[in-house]
Amino acid sequence: MIAIGVSSNGSNQLIGALECIAAAAAYAAGVVAQKPALRTASALSVTWAACTIGAIALLPWAPELVREFGHSSTPVIGWTIYLGIGPTAIGFLFWAYALARTDAGRLGSTTYLVPPLVVLIGWITLSEVPPLLALPGGLLCLLGVAFSRGAFRARASSAQPDG
């Protein structure tokens, strides 16, 4: 609902949705592969290995990166470094730390918080007013997280009398 509400490219919408599904499937496979690794290695070493594997996979594009950086301004290079260290490395380190301490499925359900948070942060910091359809989509995401984390089951079981 959020993606449809914020999309301005109707013809590319299906392609974008399919790419998101492919990315989600690849990410899910990575989480499942990461969980056993965290049984024998620390979150830092697993995150380091994953980032190293990603960097190696991207080596064919390194010459283009060097060319582009040669034409880039200092702020662009700084923001690129920030994106690699901040949201990527630190974010995945925190993810690995949490994954080592909980079930992959339970932790994975928290990723439903990302779309409404992106809409909210974009609204606050970038003045990107969300379209009307994004609001129920965000609410649906939040309800999905609450449901998957057992928030409704706890209330339902406490409301029933014993015996």
- Per-residue pLDDT at 18 exceeds 70: yes
Q: Tell me what pLDDT residue 112 has.
A: 74
The rounded distance, in Å, linking the Cα atoms of 76 and 58 is 20
6 located within any domain:
no
Question: Of 27-31, 98-102, 137-141, 148-152, which range is least confident?
Answer: 148-152
10 located within any domain:
no
What Å distances lie between residue 17 and 20, 63, 77, CA to CA?
Answer: 5, 30, 30
If asked whether residues 75 and 32 sit together in one domain, one would say: yes
- Reported as a single tens digit per residue, the pLDDT across 65-85 is 999 988 999 999 999 999 988
**Mean pLDDT across 43-53:** 90
Q: Which of 101, 119, 141 is the last residue of a domain?
A: 101
112 located within any domain:
yes
DSSP run (H or E) holding 160: none
What Å distances lie between residue 140 and 2, 111, 112, 115, 128, CA to CA?
Answer: 10, 13, 9, 10, 20
Q: Tell me what pLDDT residue 28 has.
A: 85
Domain count, the chain: 2
159 located within any domain:
yes
The rounded distance, in Å, linking the Cα atoms of 133 and 120 is 14
Please indicate whether residue 90 or residue 16 has the higher confidence score (pLDDT).
90
If asked whether residues 60 and 80 sit together in one domain, one would say: yes
If asked whether residues 117 and 49 sit together in one domain, one would say: no
pLDDT band at 163 (very low <50, low <70, confident <90, very high): very low
If asked whether residues 96 and 30 sit together in one domain, one would say: yes
The rounded distance, in Å, linking the Cα atoms of 115 and 111 is 8
If asked whether residues 34 and 74 sit together in one domain, one would say: yes
If asked whether residues 97 and 29 sit together in one domain, one would say: yes
Please indicate whether residue 11 or residue 93 has the higher confidence score (pLDDT).
93
| Nearest residue to 25 (alpha-carbon basis) of 117, 108, 122, 136 | 108
Q: Which of 59, 82, 101 is the last residue of a domain?
A: 101
How many C-beta neighbours within 10 Å does residue 156 have?
10
If asked whether residues 81 and 113 sit together in one domain, one would say: no
If asked whether residues 94 and 109 sit together in one domain, one would say: no
14 located within any domain:
no
16 located within any domain:
no
| DSSP-assigned letter for residue 41 | S
Domain that holds residue 38: 23-101
If asked whether residues 121 and 96 sit together in one domain, one would say: no
What is the distance in angstroms between the CA of the first residue and the CA of the last residue of the chain? Answer: 43
- Reported as a single tens digit per residue, the pLDDT across 82-137 is 998 888 889 889 999 999 998 888 887 777 778 778 878 988 999 988 777 777 87
pTM over 0.75: no
| Secondary structure of 79-139 in HEC code, one letter for each residue | HHHHHHHHHHHHHHHHHHHHHCCCCHHHHHHHHHHHHHHHHHHHHHHHCCCCCCCHHHHHH
